[in-house]
Structure 1
Amino acid sequence: MPIRDRFDQIPGSAPGVGYTHAITASGQLAFVSGQVALDENGQLVGADDFAAQARQALRNLANVLKRLGATWGDVVRFNWYLVDTSELPILRQIRDEFILPALDGRPAPASTLIQVAGLFRPDCLIEVDAVVAIP
C-alpha cells in the first residue's frame, strides 16, 4: 500500500476528531473532483435533506474509488464543503459509516471542512473531493 505513515497524534496539537493531521504516501496519486448528490442521471438526491445528500455524494466518491482500483483506506485527504456547518454531526456519522470499516482501526485521512455560501447549484448542500494514493 502506498500510504506509509499516518500522524494522528502531534505533540502540542489538539487530537484530530475523525481525521489525521498528516499522511505520507508514495507512488501514484489521484485527485478526485468534488462529488455532490447527483445520481447517475444527473438528478439531485435528497432535496433539502442533508443526510441523503451526504450519502449520495459519498456513494459517488465510492464509485470513483472503485474505478481507480482504490478503497476508502487509500484516501489520504478529504476536502468537505458544507453550506451549513451545523450539519457536521450528521456528516461525521455518515462519513464514519462509509469510511471506518475500510480503515481497520487506522486513523482517518487528513481532512479540511469549509463552510461555503453556496455550491454550483443552490439545492446542493454538500460537496466532497479527495486525494487518493493509488494502490
Structure 2
Amino acid sequence: MDNTHLTHITAPEGVTPGVGYTHVVTGSGRLVAVSGQVALDANGHVVGAGDAAAQARQVFENLRRCLAAAGASFDDVVKLTYYVTDIAHLPAVRTVRDAYIDSEHLPASSAVQVAALFRPELLLEIEAFALVPEAAR
C-alpha cells in the first residue's frame, strides 16, 4: 500500500474527529473522477436485490475496476460519496468498504439518504475521487 502522496487530516483543529472517515485528504497528482457506481454486473443485471451488503460488494468491485482502468487503486481515493435509499444500510456498506480500503487511511466521505435511485431494486450508489501520483500510469 503506497499512498505517501496523500495527507490525511482526521481531526482539524476545532473539528470533532470523524468516525469511519477522514475530514480532509490532500495531495498532488492526476485527478481521477469515478461516476456513481451501482450494483450492476457486466451484463447490466442487478446483483443482490434487497441485500445492501451484496450490493455494496458489487459496487466496490465496480469502483475497483473503474479505478484500475485509470491506473488508480483504493489507496489513491481521497473522497467517497454514498447515496443510500435507507441510512440504515450504512453499517453493511462500511463493513464492505473496510475490505477494500485501509482503515488507517480512510478517505473523506459524505453519506446522503435519497428517495430513490434510477432503478427501484438499487439500494446504494457510490462515487469516488482519487489522486494518482504523476509517475503512475
Matched AA of 2:54:
A
Q: Which runs of 5+ in 1 are unaligned?
A: none
Matches within 5 A, 1:76-115: 76-100=78-102, 105=104, 107-115=105-113
- Among 6, 9, 34, the alignment partner of 2:8 is 6
Correspondence for 1:72:
74
C-alpha contact 1:36 1:127 (8 A) present in aligned 2: yes
Residue 2 (structure 1) shift: 7.3
Deviations 1:57-78 (A, max 9, x none): 0100000111111111100000
Aligned pairs, number? 131
Q: TM-score, normalised by structure 2?
A: 0.89
Give 4+ residue runs of structure 1 displaced > 2 Å after superposition: 1-4
Residue 27 (structure 1) shift: 2.1
Paired with 2:73 and 2:26, the residues of 1 have a C-alpha distance of 17
C-alpha contact 1:3 1:26 (8 A) present in aligned 2: yes
- Identity over aligned pairs, percent: 47
Residue 44 (structure 1) shift: 0.3
Correspondence for 1:129:
127
Question: Does residue 62 of the first structure (1) align with residue 60 of the second (2)?
Answer: no
SS of 1:132 mapped into structure 2 = strand
Q: TM-score, normalised by structure 1?
A: 0.91
C-alpha contact 1:34 1:127 (8 A) present in aligned 2: yes
Correspondence for 1:120:
118
Question: Does residue 40 of the first structure (1) align with residue 42 of the second (2)?
Answer: yes
Paired with 1:132 and 1:43, the residues of 2 have a C-alpha distance of 27
Matches within 5 A, 1:21-36: 21-36=23-38
Q: Which runs of 5+ in 2 are unaligned?
A: none
C-alpha contact 1:37 1:45 (8 A) present in aligned 2: yes
SS of 1:87 mapped into structure 2 = helix
C-alpha contact 1:3 1:23 (8 A) present in aligned 2: no
